[in-house]
Structure 1
Amino acid sequence: MKNLKLVLKPMALLTVLGMLFTACSEKLEENDGQLATDDLDFTNMSDMILPVYGAYSVTYSRGWEDPLLLGVRGDDVNAGGLGDQPLFAQTDLYNYDNGFWMFNQVWINFYKDLADIINSMELLERYKVFATGQDITRADQYIAETKVLSAYQHLNMAKLWGNIFIIKTTDFDAETNNGVDTKMEVLQYVSDLMDEAIPFLPDVRPNERVDIPGGVTKYTALAIKAMANLEMENYQGVADATGQIISSSKFSLFPDFYELFKKPGELSNENLFELQFSDYNQSSGAANNHEYGPFGPANWTPVVKTADPGWGFYEPSVKFIKFMLDRGETKRLLTSVLFTPDGISQIKSDPSYATLPNFISNVTPDGDQINNYARAKFASGKHYLPSNQLTEGRNNYGSSKNFIVIRYSEILLMYAEALTRGASGTTMTADQAVNTVRVRADMAPLSGVTSDQVMEEKFAELAMEWGVRYFDMIRLNKYDELSYDGRTFSADKELLPYPQAQLDLLPLENN
């Protein structure tokens, strides 16, 4: 009867996908096997970490479609113009076809992950029944971690579709029979779930964790809570959550903005949530990678000649590039955009930009040459791994590159925005928060910062990252910003339509 149940129900009979890992000290490695619940000994506390490993594994193994669909509608990003995904290009133009396979695939990706994560939580609760002493504390922490991972999935789905099913248990009939929850209900659920989790989570940075290096902590939960409250326009809630992160004094900006998004920036003091991947520094054999191909240029001359190109599906917009040039940006523009010769010519064809700064080049600081290709004129530099940082013998575009989800700079800018919109905070001023971000970018400090200036700073700092720009603009009803390069945006375009495959099988009403 319900496609959601068809996808999720078998998970209730199984334990976690991919929950066997080589060692705690290694990055989490997905295993293709499944372990039946009857095979687990819930009295064996040394195995209690396995379900939480599994929850991380499914969270890390995001479909390549997920970040593309979350981000492509912003005025910072364009879809590749030519190729085999015309409905993706139409989505970028706000023309939605609910039969588009990607809508349904992303829906399934998130709900399948939720099935695994919630199943992990229930397995941990079974371990807790037999736990004593410190093992009870450890069980509570692991359960809290699954709540954070669940909240992350729910938040993304609410951003895309608005009203969705909240999934709390593996009793999927009960979860879906009453229909969807409203977007505000989902966001409040995410915020409340983080309140439940925070007391049991480690009070450290993710990169300080020893048991699961880079795993979520109290501060990841506070960040997700802040994001949910930002969507609800509860700015005091945003200021309170981000203020706790800032006042901890545990986080700082990685000094080199360019390298932050490459190997040197992995598990830095700036990252509050990071999807981790690895080829284990071996030229062959097992590897756990995100598919970065969609973000990369489809034609290049890399320093490492064997390195594969990308697909050209995700293009920084000319609007964003000109915005950055107008601001006198160097570090952030150089990092965010890979230029082709045709792209440079297109910018220069506007008389206002006929003379470009010397750093604008189709050769990256690491020497990779970006060539012309049919689909796009620019590519995302934030998803670029220089070919000279690839493990020898690994040629896939971006192989083993981590995927940063939440950065401290975003925390600072959310805090600043909340203060400029009337919230109170004693951790620092809005000026101090914004200028902390600007200093790294070699931008002059601001005084008396306004909400509009904060949003401009977010545009410059967070472009191409998880749809931050798009969701900011629809939250603020800035439809004029999204109506660019021939596009016309209106309120009815804010949310994606439910996938037709789900409408056929679920208790859904179309948006």
Structure 2
Amino acid sequence: MKNFKQLLNPLVYLLVAGLCFTSCEDKLKEQDGQLGTGDLDYTKTSDMIMPLVGAYAQIYSRGWEDPLLLGVRGDDVNAGGLGDQQPFAETDLFNYDKGYWMYNSLWTNMYSDILDINNARETIQTYKDFAPESAYAKADQYMAETKVLSGWTHLQMSRVWGSIFIITQSDVTDDLANGVATKAEVMKYVSDLMDEAIPFLPDSRPNQRTDVPGGVTKYTALAVKALANLELENYQEVANAAGAIITSNKFMLYNDFYQLFKKSGELSDENLFEFQYSDYGSATGSVNNHLYAPFGPENWTPARAGASSGWGFYEPSFKFIKFMLDRNEKVRLQTSVLFTNRGIAEIKTDAAYATLPSWISNTTPDGDVINDFNRAKFSSGKHYLPSKQLTEGRNDYGSGKNMIVIRYAEILLMYAEALTKGANGTGMTADQAVNMVRDRAGLGDLTGVTHADVMDEKFAELAMEWGIRYFDLIRLKNYAELSYDGRTFSEDKALLPYPQAQVDLLPLGVQ
């Protein structure tokens, strides 16, 4: 313990990569009945929303590497041929380099988010301490929202690394001293945290909120609870949480799967959690964008001249494309994949796919032509914004596009999965839940839906989204699916190794 105390400051520094930790240590506090001497006036209750907005801004400010690293190990996605990021390509092959900067960046990005979110919650509590009683409910709501943001972040980290630190406050001394919690303990913590938050959250869709448009609600918390219990294989709790979302009758599938991932699908009735970005409809001035270039093709001829291409780092797999062709999918395949001519030609070298549907083309429905490029043969359509939907004067790939994190289709399919695993449901059957998703895709109804049917539907519906496919296969120990196209997967590859920089300083124990 003596050594741990001596190392505490560098441990904290590394945990957050030096990002604004002093703001946690030096946050304004009430001293001797007086307000702190910083810039915040805690008696100004109308400003109480500001730390909450800051918490959202922090979680929206994802590094470009975060969603790529979460998803690349699935059989739905390949890394592009990355000469300048070879350890990322090796990660896709389950060859892990714990010194690789991306691993450490994902770790520090997420822990710095958690610390800032915790700091926001503590700041809101201080506002509440000085607020009139009439403002207590709003303060409780705002603090509950931070719990949802923190819970989602812990969930993602534990999916990647298994045992991690549970960080409950901005002063991490005690949380670090407790050591890492197991994955099961983290998921239980997340589920319990959602139970704490739910009573104080708005009973509405995110797109119905006017104070923080798109902000989390009771149903976002229920979705995060369902995800945590899915990892625990506690299927009755999954069915209960997902069923509560379904029976609220507040959510519905967006009618156009292709447009769901474009500008018109933003803040739709389908989206339970969505990162908000904008260039404010102006050709110049400030922007709050996610960097979508890694998802995009290196070479294209955009329908709107001048629109920038991408980097080619994230490629839908041949396995996924052939799976979709075998199902006679059009709507979801055309949405999910941007084809190149050389990619199409390579599919045709397989005699079973020598003749492809006429709609498969290197020209998107919006007229952008995806030219051949070196790094990959396909690009992700779900992260593609048609060039003609860019704001005039903005040329960055995907500029202003939101990123959907949790949507109603996933809720329906989690619910159906839970029922096929023996849980009791309310509101609809597994057949009905699956067929709602299939109907939008233009596919016929199924009867007597099995667990395998649901997992196939999740593969088709949720590919390229947040590593959902990979984490499903790991949870179900369906490792054979991950040994494809020359890859060899084994159970010991399920988790990423802790970043070496963290191992050197943090009390991580043995992974």
Measured against the shorter chain, the TM-score band is over 0.9
Q: Identical aligned pairs, as a percentage?
A: 67
Match of 2:110 in 1: 110
State the partner residue of 2:23: 11
Tell me what 2:155 maps to: 155
CA distance in 2, matches of 1:188, 1:273: 21
Q: How does 1:217-256 map to 2 (within 5 A)?
A: 217-256=217-256
Match of 1:127 in 2: 127
> What letter corresponds to residue 5 of structure 1 in structure 2?
V
Deviations 1:358-390 (A, max 9, x none): 110000000000001110000000000000000
Alignment-mate amino acid for residue 152 of structure 1: W
Residue 177 (1) aligns with residue 189 (2): no
- Residue equivalent to 2:52: 52
Q: Tell me, yes or no, if structure 1 residue 142 matches structure 2 residue 149.
A: no
2-side partners of 1:80 and 1:67: how far apart? 15
Q: For 2:408 and 2:126, how far apart are their aligned partners in 1?
A: 35
- Write out the 4+ residue segments of structure 1 that deviate beyond 4 Å after TM superposition: none
C-alpha distance in 2 between matches for 1:134 and 1:510: 49
Residue 177 (structure 1) shift = 1.6
Q: Deviations over 1:206-246 (max 9, x none)?
A: 00001001000000000000000000000001000000000
Moved more, 80-89 or 401-410: 80-89
Question: Which position in structure 1 is the counterpart of 2:471?
Answer: 471
Q: What is the distance in 2 between the residues matched to 1:403 and 1:14?
A: 33
In 1, Cα distance between equivalents of 2:298 and 2:11: 36
Give the partner amino acid of 1:415.
Y
Distance of 1:258 and 1:510 partners within structure 2: 45
Question: What's the CA shift for 1:305?
Answer: 1.3
Other-structure match for 1:211: 211
- Counterpart of 1:20 in structure 2 is none
Residue equivalent to 1:21: none
The one-letter code sitting in structure 2 at the alignment partner of 1:88 is F
Contact 2:204 2:218 in 1 (8 A): yes
Contact 2:204 2:217 in 1 (8 A): yes
Counterpart contact for 2:116–2:170, Cα < 8 Å? no
1:89 aligns with 2:89: yes
Rounded to whole Å, the distance in 2 between the matches of 1:143 and 1:61 is 20
Q: CA deviation at 1:83?
A: 2.5
Q: Does 1:392 align with 2:392?
A: yes
Q: Deviations over 1:405-424 (max 9, x none)?
A: 00000000000000000000
Tell me how far 1:455 sits from its aligned partner.
0.1
SS at match of 1:38: coil
Give, in angstroms, the shift of residue 4 of structure 1: 4.6
Show the counterpart of 2:312. 312
Indicate the residue corresponding to 2:322 in structure 1. Answer: 322
TM-score computed with the length of structure 1 as normaliser: 0.95
* Cα separation, partners in 2 of 1:69 and 1:363, compared to 1, 3 Å: same
Asked if 1 retains the 8 angstrom alpha-carbon contact of 2:75 and 2:469, the reply is yes
- Report the equivalent of 1:352: 352
CA distance in 2, matches of 1:498, 1:510: 10
Q: In the TM superposition, what is the alpha-carbon distance from 1:37 to its structure 2 partner?
A: 7.4
- Aligned partners of 1:209 and 1:353: how far apart in 2? 47
Alpha-carbon deviations, 1:261-283, whole Å to 9, x = none?
00000000000000000000000
**Kept after mapping to 2: 8 A contact 1:82/1:374:** no
C-alpha distance in 1 between matches for 2:507 and 2:423:
39
How far apart, in 2, do the equivalents of 1:236 and 1:40 lie?
Answer: 45
Contact 2:82 2:88 in 1 (8 A): no
Which residue of the partner structure matches residue 491 of structure 1?
491
User: Could you tell me how far apart the structure 2 residues matched to 1:15 and 1:73 are?
Assistant: 40
Structure 2 equivalent of residue 23 of structure 1:
none
Q: Is the 8 A contact 2:72 2:78 kept in 1?
A: yes
Unaligned runs of 5+ in 1: 17-35
**Number of corresponding residues:** 492
What RMSD over aligned residues (CA atoms) do the two structures have, in Å? 1.2
Cα separation, 2, equivalents of 1:372 and 1:195: 50
Q: Which moved more, 1:166-175 or 1:280-289?
A: 166-175
TM-score using structure 2 length: 0.95
Distance in 1 (alpha carbons) for counterparts of 2:397 and 2:259: 17
**8 Å CA contact retained: 2:278, 2:288:** yes
Are 1:377 and 2:389 an aligned pair? Answer: no
Hey, what does 2:3 align to over in structure 1?
Answer: none
Displacement after TM superposition at 1:170 (Å): 1.5
1:191 to partner: Cα distance: 0.2
Given that residues 11 and 115 in structure 1 are in contact (C-alpha distance below 8 angstroms), is that contact kept between their aligned partners in structure 2? Answer: no
- Per-residue deviation, 1:398: 0.2
Question: 2:134 & 2:436 partners in 1: Cα distance?
Answer: 40
Q: Alpha-carbon deviations, 1:19-65, whole Å to 9, x = none?
A: xxxxxxxxxxxxxxxxx972111111110000000000001111111
Give the aligned residue type for 1:175.
D
- Asked if the contact 2:81–2:376 (Cα under 8 Å) also holds between the matched residues in 1, the reply is yes
Q: Secondary structure at the match of 2:38?
A: helix
Aligned equivalents of 2:149, 2:139: Cα separation in 1: 16
Whole-Å Cα distance in 2 between the matches of residues 236 and 170 of structure 1? 34
Aligned pairs (5 A) from 1:326-475: 326-475=326-475
CA contact (8 A) 2:73 2:91 kept: yes
- The residue that corresponds to 2:41 in the other structure is 41
* Matched residue type, 1:306: G
Q: Distance in 2 between matches of 1:37 and 1:78?
A: 52
In structure 2, distance between residues paired with 1:461 and 1:469: 10
Q: Distance in 1 between matches of 2:25 and 2:289?
A: 28
Q: Distance in 1 between matches of 2:91 and 2:310?
A: 21
Amino acid aligned to 2:83: G
Long gaps (5+) in structure 2: 1-6, 29-35
3-state secondary structure, aligned to 2:90 = helix
